[in-house]
Amino acid sequence: MLSPMTPTEPRIGRTYRVRIPRDESPAKYVTGSPGRGEADLMFLQMAFVHGDGLSDDFDITLTSVGEVLAGEPAVTGVKVVDTTRVSTPLSPEVAAALGLSPGVEYVVEGVLKDARSGEPVQVLAEETLTIPASWLHE
């Protein structure tokens, strides 16, 4: 059985198991604040999956402790995920060849697919997220 952490115990650089308590909705951490769109979306996705009883535990490696989220002790860390979503900078030469304005940094974002089959390809990516410290377990 995993034991929950207390807010003073988590340590930067350590990896912990994250388990959302059954009686808690991650949606309560949605703020609607500007600049927190990705974080809010993550909590809404967690709430949707958690509400269906499908949520899985996951590992997080802490990069910051002593934070606060919705008035509760929180931690920030990195989660490694499988994704088909990719993002890569567009070189100035390619941007010019496409007729885009010079002096602007462009990024191409989308889904990585196998050129032959058209099937999405999974790659590993890091997600940084801030979660309640009470969700951490050893």
Kindly list the domain boundaries of the chain, sorted by start residue.
Answer: 1-79+127-138, 85-121
- Is the sign of the CA dihedral 53, 122, 16, 38 positive or negative? negative
**Confidence grade of residue 138 (pLDDT, cut at 50, 70, 90):** confident
Q: Is the pLDDT of residue 44 over 90?
A: no
Provide mean pLDDT across the span 10-21: 91
Provide the token pair at 6. Answer: 């207390």
- pTM of structure: 0.69
> Which pLDDT band, with edges at 50, 70 and 90, does 54 fall under?
low
Mean pLDDT of the chain: 85
Q: What is the pLDDT of residue 7?
A: 46
CB atoms within 10 A of CB 74: 22
Phi, psi angle pair for 70, to nearest 5°:
55, 40
Residue 15 pLDDT exceeds 90: yes
